[in-house]
Amino acid sequence: MEELNFRLEIFEGPLDLMLNLISKHKLNIRDIEISILLDQFLDYLDKMQEADIDVAGEFVEMAAHLIYIKTAELLPKHEVEALKKELSGRLIEYAMCKAAAERLRRHFCGDTVFVRAPLELPVDNTYKLRHDRYELLENYTAVSTKSEKLKKDAKQVFQPIVAQTYVSVFSKLIFVLRNLRSGKDIEVRSLYKGQTRSAQVAVFLALLELSKRGRVEFSDDGEHIKMTRVGKEEETITENTEVTGE
């Protein structure tokens, strides 16, 4: 009985039942074998009665119509063909409506989801919050103080770099030669003492230039590098003297 209830939920009417029988027995819907269709249709109605299920009037009416077509096979052929054609037309039309209903069901019951395009809402950039004037003053002071601190920090970082003065190699040439006037050897390391980094670079380039010109010689006793003046002061060094690397 439960199985029949399930089947009745599938068949919404006699045409629905006949479509199922045609599909199940692989009948040609355009040239229906009335005898086979009628036997299966009546068999289904018998099972409904055996299960004490009320047979709807439309099913009984369709059964009577099928019986009429079967008995009409004794009539001239063209009349029978007209009856069968009329039944086939109803079945084809019902099948098309059923397929369309299924497509609509899938369309509106979850298989296809329609999403509305996002609305373009106007953007209001007006600041609408209200603050106490003392709170605003306090925040402004905090921001200003922080800004000044950042400026001071930046100045402290870059001041040593910007404050470095330019030291010419020529000035260090004179500086080295003056230290050699006594004619005694001097330690090269002593020339760098108390000098800024740019001045130390200038001293180094001056030593290279003097060595290139043969004005000084270097010696190494294993612990210290010493420098000795060579020759007399025939060559006069001026600011116009070409200095390599300057």
Q: What is the pLDDT of residues 127-167, one digit of tens each?
A: 677 767 667 667 767 777 776 666 666 656 566 555 567 78
What are the pLDDT digits (tens) for 186-209? Answer: 888 888 888 888 888 888 888 888
Topology (CATH) of 158-246 = Arc Repressor Mutant, subunit A (1.10.10)
- For residue 159, give the amino acid letter: Q
Region for residue 141 given its phi and psi (left: phi exceeds 0; alpha: psi -120 to 50; beta: otherwise)? alpha
Q: Which two tokens stand for residue 224?
A: 């210290």
Q: How many Cβ atoms from other residues are within 10 Å of residue 93's Cβ?
A: 11
Edge-first strand listing for the sheet containing 225-229: 186-187, 225-229, 216-220
- Enter the tokens of residue 101: 């209903």
Domain boundaries in the chain? 2-108, 158-246
Most confident of 95-104, 105-114, 232-241: 95-104
pLDDT digits (tens, 9 = 90+) for 47-81: 777 766 666 678 788 888 888 877 877 767 777 77
